[in-house]
């Protein structure tokens, strides 16, 4: 199925490729101020956040279950929260928000807004940023690959990527 505004093309990334992406993100995050807490966005951010947690020695990790896309209809137009940390877990803290991809940006923007409303400071990190698809006027603080579909050669480790039919 061709990529549309509501049906993004999925890209297969091997575990080795994912490990290299996470390692590069970890290197970038080591150069930044350390967060007070890490928040993984479910579902896509869970694996990268867990891998980063081991690499960085993080233990204080939170979860936000947010739905902006679904498997049947694609982009839903807004982000719905199924689960989010309490304000006292976020207030006064720098919260590193991790997701696997920034497509529309709707999910991570909604999470960032909730963090700010709770008195925290969001810092965002994704593996794959698609600026041409973004529907929000913020950009990720940290990302590794931009426009993977259009420019897979940016990461030699992703030479074997392919769209899922």
Q: Is the pLDDT of residue 130 over 50?
A: yes
Average the pLDDT over 131-153 and give the result: 78
- Per the omega criterion (within 30 degrees of 0), is the bond before 43 cis? yes
Whether the CB-CB separation of 133 and 159 falls below 8 Å is answered with no
Number of domains in the chain: 1
pLDDT confidence bin for 12, thresholds 50/70/90: confident
Helix (H, G, I), strand (E, B) or coil at 91: coil
Q: Is the pLDDT of residue 18 over 70?
A: yes
Tell me if 127 is assigned to some domain: yes
Position 155 scores a pLDDT of 41
Position 78 scores a pLDDT of 76
Q: Is the pLDDT of residue 91 over 70?
A: yes
Tell me if 8 is assigned to some domain: no
Lowest mean pLDDT segment, chosen from 11-15, 18-22, 34-38, 63-67: 11-15
Whether the CB-CB separation of 118 and 110 falls below 8 Å is answered with no
Position 13 scores a pLDDT of 79
Q: What is the DSSP letter of 140?
A: -
E strand intervals along 54-120: 61-70, 74-83, 94-102
Tell me if 102 is assigned to some domain: yes
Tell me if 153 is assigned to some domain: yes
Instruction: List the CATH number of the domain containing 104.
Output: 3.40.50.2020
Tell me if 10 is assigned to some domain: no
Whether the CB-CB separation of 106 and 78 falls below 8 Å is answered with yes
Reduced to 3 DSSP states, what percent helix, strand and coil does the chain have, rounded to the nearest 5?
A: 30, 30, 40
pLDDT confidence bin for 70, thresholds 50/70/90: low
For 92, the domain range is 15-158
Position 7 scores a pLDDT of 54
For residues 122 and 17, give the distance between their C-alpha atoms in angstroms, rounded to a whole number. Answer: 27
């Amino acid at each position: 199925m061709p990529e549309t505004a509501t049906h993004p093309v999925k890209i297969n990334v091997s575990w080795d490729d994912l490990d290299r992406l996470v390692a590069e993100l970890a290197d970038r995050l080591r150069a930044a101020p350390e967060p007070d807490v890490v928040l993984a966005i479910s579902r896509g951010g869970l694996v990268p956040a867990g891998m980063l947690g081991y690499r960085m020695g993080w233990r204080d990790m939170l979860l936000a279950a947010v739905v902006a896309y679904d498997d049947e209809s694609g982009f839903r137009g807004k982000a719905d929260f199924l689960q989010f940390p309490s304000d006292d877990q976020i207030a006064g803290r720098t919260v590193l928000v991790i997701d696997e991809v920034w497509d529309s940006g709707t999910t991570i923007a909604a999470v960032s807004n909730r963090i700010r409303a709770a008195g925290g400071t969001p810092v965002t990190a994704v593996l794959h940023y698609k600026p041409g698809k973004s529907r929000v006027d913020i950009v990720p603080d940290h990302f590794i690959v931009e426009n993977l579909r259009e420019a897979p050669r940016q990461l030699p480790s992703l030479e074997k990527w392919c769209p899922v039919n």
